[in-house]
Amino acid sequence: MIALGGDCLFFEMANGERIPCSAEMIGVELAGGAGTLFDAEMVGQATQAVFYYFKHELGRQTVSAGEFAGALEKVLRGFAAVMKPLSPTGPATGVLESDLSRLAYESGPGRELAFFPRLRAELRRHLRQPSRMVRFRGLRGCVKQLAGARRWGPRCRTLEGEIVAYLRECLSAEPGPLDCALWVE
């Protein structure tokens, strides 16, 4: 038997056939009105999150196509509950964005000591505005910059988890809209 790559899962089809796939190989096509709610990037990110969940959090090597589709549908329904449909001219209004790499750079030589208070202030600033979603992008670059690492390693993985956990704690502690979603990538 061929060894499965570290970034692959076996997808078991209805006919019993098992196909190795990476997160990037999975194509998702939305039917009905869902295409007006989500852009391709968001669906791709959700697909990668579901893939990561099965592969790394559950430690699974094989997943049925139906099981994967059900989990992805659940994630997208969660986003649909807090998002407005896309306008024909661009992305949904109400999504506020911040660049974590920029925040890390602006933290200067203080690194983590200066970064976390800046991050909380940025989240507070967003929560004062009427928004349905707050998106922090650039997590990987931010972590490498704060850790002073050129390559991803155990220290980076730990710091990545700390940043995401900190954002979740801050969101739950801040007096703000209860239906605001947090998206970190």
Q: What is the pLDDT of residue 31?
A: 45
The angle, 0 to 180 degrees and rounded to 10, between the axes of the packed helices 111-127 and 139-147 is: 150
Mean pLDDT over residues 84-104, rounded?
66
Among the ranges given (8-17, 54-63, 111-120, 175-184), the one the predictor scored with the smallest mean pLDDT: 175-184
Contacts of residue 141, Cβ cutoff 8 Å, sequence gap at least 6: 100, 101, 104
Q: What is the pLDDT of residue 160?
A: 92
- For residue 185, give the nearest of 155, 141, 131 by alpha carbon: 141
Mean pLDDT over residues 3-26, rounded?
78
Contact 74, 112 (CB under 8 A): no
Dig out the tokens for 87 from the structure: 């306008």
| pLDDT score of 184 more than 80 | yes
Q: What is the pLDDT of residue 65?
A: 79
Find tokens 């703000």 and name the residue: 176
Secondary element (H or E) of residue 62: strand 62-64
Q: Answer with the residue of higher pLDDT: 83 or 147.
A: 147
pLDDT bucket at 177, cuts 50 / 70 / 90: low
Q: What is the pLDDT of residue 37?
A: 59
- pTM score > 0.75 for this model? no
Helices (H) and strands (E) in the chain, counts: 6, 6
